[in-house]
Amino acid sequence: MEHKYRLSICMMVRDEEKNLGRCLESLKTIIEKKFAELIIVDTGSVDGTMDIAREYTDRVYQHPWNNDFSDMRNITIGYAKGEWVFIVDADEQLENPEEVIRLFESNETEKYNTISVRLKNVLIGNKMADNYVINQQPRIFRNDVDFCYKGAVHNQPVCKGPTLASTISFMHYGYIGDDRDLVEKKFKRTSTILKDELKKNPKNLYYQFQLAVSYYDIDNARGLTEMRKAHNLFSKLPKERKKSYAYLHGIYARFAFGNKEYQEVIDICREGIM
C-alpha cells in the first residue's frame, strides 16, 4: 500500500457540536503539519457537527448509521492515505500535540505496529478535569491490509504487536452526564445493540459488562443488576483470562457504592486485590 501521509487522524461523529470544536482545536497543530491528514465521517448529525468539521478539514464524508460501530469505523479507516491511522473520538481533547509531532517526525515508531495512548476518563457528573481514571488504550495503528475493527458496539481493534506505550495523553469527557438528551440518545443506541448481541451470545462477558456500564448514568440500580451478571460470567473464566478483565472490580464497586451496598463494595474490592 502506497501512503501519501505519515499520519491519518480518523474520526467517526454524530451530533457532537458541543464537543467537536474542543477536540479539533486540540489537534490543530498536528493537522497543520504536512505529514498529517484529518478524516471525519458523519453518521447522521442533525446539529452543527458538519459545519464545525468543515472548518478544520475538507475530508468530511457522510455515511448513514447502520447499527455497527466497527463497520462505521472501518469505513472511516478506508479513506486513510497515511502510513499510520490515529483514532480519535469527538469527546476527547489531546493534551500534548507536541508529543505526537515529535514521535512522527522521528524514527521511533519504526519497530512498532501499534501505539497506545493515555486516556484520562473524567468521572460522571464531574465537570472539573481534576477527578479522572487513567487507562492506556491502543489508538494508533500501522495502516496495512490486516488492520480493522470488530464488534458491533464497543469496537475492538484487530492489530499487531509490538506496541509502544506512548505518553500521548487525552482528556476524555464522554462519561460526564450533563447533557441528558445526548446521554439518553447514546444509551438507547448502545444498549439496543448490546441486548441484541447478548441474545445471540448470552455468555459474552464483554458485552454483558458494557451493557452494565451503559446504565451508569441512566439507572444505577439496573446497572448494578447487570454488573452482577457480568461478574457471574467473570467468575467462570479460567484464571489466565481473568487478567484481561481486571478493571471489572473497580466499576462493579462504583455501582455497588452508588446503591449503598457497602458490604458488596468491600467484598468485590477484596476480590479485586487478591
Which of 70-84, 154-168, 220-234 is the least confident region? 154-168
**Same domain, yes or no, for 102 and 168?**
yes
Q: Cα dist. 173→122, 184, 213 in Å? A: 6, 16, 15
Structural domain harbouring 68: 5-172
Report how many domains make up the chain: 2
Boundary residue ending a domain (120, 149, 172): 172
Q: What is the CATH number of the domain that holds 226?
A: 1.25.40.10
**Same domain, yes or no, for 152 and 186?**
no
By the 10 Å C-beta count (0-12 exposed, 13-18 middle, 19+ buried), 223 is classed as buried
**Same domain, yes or no, for 15 and 117?**
yes
**Same domain, yes or no, for 149 and 239?**
no
pTM over 0.75: no
Give the angle subtended at the CA of 163 by the CAs of 161 and 168, to the nearest 5°. 150
**Same domain, yes or no, for 127 and 205?**
no
Q: How does pLDDT run across 100-145, given as a tens digit for each residue?
A: 999 999 989 999 999 999 998 786 554 444 567 788 889 999 999 8
**Same domain, yes or no, for 162 and 222?**
no
By the 10 Å C-beta count (0-12 exposed, 13-18 middle, 19+ buried), 212 is classed as buried
**Same domain, yes or no, for 50 and 68?**
yes
**Same domain, yes or no, for 216 and 90?**
no
Cβ-contact 224, 255 below 8 angstroms:
yes
Boundary residue ending a domain (146, 172, 198): 172
Q: How does pLDDT run across 41-96, given as a tens digit for each residue?
A: 999 999 999 999 999 999 999 999 988 889 999 999 999 999 999 999 999 999 99
Confidence tier at 153 by pLDDT (50, 70, 90):
low
**Same domain, yes or no, for 161 and 222?**
no
Q: How does pLDDT run across 230-260, given as a tens digit for each residue?
A: 999 999 998 888 877 888 999 899 899 999 9
